Structure 1
Amino acid sequence: MSHSTPIRWGLLGAARIAASALVPALRHNISPIVAVGCRDAQRGAAFAARHHIAEVESYEGLIARDDIDAVYIALPNHAHLPWTLAALAAGKHVLCEKPLSLTAVEAAQIRAASLASGRLALEAFMYRFHPQIERLCALIAGGALGPLRWLRGSFTYSLQDNTDVRWDAKLGGGALYDLGCYPLNLMRMVSQAEPSVLSVASRLTAPAADGGRVDHAAHAVMRFDTAEGPVLGHLDCALSLPFHCQFEALCEKTLLRLPIPFTSKGTDTELQVGDYTEHFSACDPYALMVAHFEAAVRGECALRFGLDDSVAQARALDALLSQAHATPID
Structure 2
Amino acid sequence: MAPLRIGIMGCASIAVRKVLPAMASLPGTAIAAIASRDAGKAAEIARAHGCRAIEGYSALLDLDDVDAVYLPLPNAEHAGWIDRALAAGKHVLAEKPLTTSASRTRELIAAARAAGLVLMENVMFLHHSQHVAVRKLLADGAIGELRAFHAAFAVPPRPPGDIRHRADLGGGALLDTGVYPVRAAMTFLGSEVDVVAAVLTRRHGHPVESAGQALLCTADGVSASATFGIDHAYRSSYELWGSEGRLVLDHAFTPPAGHVPVLRLERRSGAEEIALPPDDQVANTLAAFAAAVRSGRLPDNDDVLRQAVLVDDIRTRAKRYAS
What range is the shorter-chain TM-score in? over 0.9
Distance in 2, matches of 1:110 and 1:142, equals: 38
Alpha-carbon contact 1:152-1:234 (below 8 Å) kept: yes
The answer for the alignment partner of 1:199 in structure 2 is: 197
Distance in 2, matches of 1:207 and 1:245, equals: 25
Find 1:312's aligned residue among 306, 310, 315.
306
Change in CA separation of 1:144 and 1:158 when aligned onto 2, cut-off 3 Å: closer
The answer for the alignment partner of 1:321 in structure 2 is: 315
Q: How many residues in Structure 1 have an aligned counterpart in Structure 2?
A: 317
The answer for the alignment partner of 1:82 in structure 2 is: 80
Q: Residue 120 of structure 2: SS of its match in structure 1?
A: strand
Distance in 1, matches of 2:272 and 2:229, equals: 31
Deviation at 1:250, TM superposition (A): 1.0
The answer for the alignment partner of 1:96 in structure 2 is: 94
Counterpart amino acid of residue 25 in structure 1: A
Alpha-carbon contact 1:140-1:190 (below 8 Å) kept: no
Q: Are residue 296 (structure 1) and residue 296 (structure 2) matched? A: no
CA deviation profile, 1:31-75 (whole Å, cap 9, x unmatched): 211101111112211221233323324200111211011110010
Q: Residue 133 of structure 2: SS of its match in structure 1?
A: helix
Tell me, which stretches of 5 or more residues in structure 1 are unaligned?
none
Distance in 2, matches of 1:9 and 1:297, equals: 11
| Normalised TM-score (structure 2) | 0.93
| Normalised TM-score (structure 1) | 0.91
- Which 4+ stretches in 1 moved above 6 angstroms? none
Alpha-carbon contact 1:35-1:57 (below 8 Å) kept: no
Deviation at 1:196, TM superposition (A): 2.2
Q: Are residue 23 (structure 1) and residue 16 (structure 2) matched? A: no
Counterpart amino acid of residue 14 in structure 2: I
The answer for the alignment partner of 2:238 in structure 1 is: 247
The answer for the alignment partner of 2:104 in structure 1 is: 106
CA deviation profile, 1:264-318 (whole Å, cap 9, x unmatched): 1221112222222322233320101111111111117664xx3211110000000
Counterpart amino acid of residue 309 in structure 1: D
Deviation at 1:262, TM superposition (A): 0.6
- The more displaced of 19-28 and 172-181 is 19-28
Deviation at 1:9, TM superposition (A): 0.6
Alignment of 1:24-173 (within 5 A): 24-30=21-27, 31-143=29-141, 145-173=143-171
Find 1:268's aligned residue among 246, 252, 260.
260
Q: Residue 109 of structure 1: SS of its match in structure 2?
A: helix
Q: Residue 240 of structure 1: SS of its match in structure 2?
A: coil
Alignment of 1:208-219 (within 5 A): 213-219=207-213
Alpha-carbon contact 2:82-2:108 (below 8 Å) kept: yes
Q: Percent identity?
A: 32
Distance in 2, matches of 1:301 and 1:269, equals: 31
Distance in 1, matches of 2:151 and 2:227, equals: 6
- The more displaced of 12-21 and 37-46 is 37-46
Distance in 2, matches of 1:192 and 1:137, equals: 12
CA deviation profile, 1:62-103 (whole Å, cap 9, x unmatched): 112110111100100001111111111111111100011101
CA deviation profile, 1:223-248 (whole Å, cap 9, x unmatched): 122xxx32111111111111122100
Distance in 2, matches of 1:288 and 1:231, equals: 31
Deviation at 1:329, TM superposition (A): 5.2
CA deviation profile, 1:159-204 (whole Å, cap 9, x unmatched): 2311000001111000110101101001101111333222222211
Deviation at 1:120, TM superposition (A): 0.6
Instruction: Please report the RMSD computed on the Cα atoms of aligned residues, expressed in angstroms.
Output: 1.8
Distance in 2, matches of 1:241 and 1:101, equals: 25
Alpha-carbon contact 1:220-1:320 (below 8 Å) kept: yes
Alpha-carbon contact 2:143-2:244 (below 8 Å) kept: yes
CA deviation profile, 1:99-142 (whole Å, cap 9, x unmatched): 11101001101111111211011110111111101221233244
Distance in 1, matches of 2:124 and 2:233, equals: 23
- The more displaced of 187-196 and 283-292 is 187-196
Distance in 2, matches of 1:140 and 1:300, equals: 33
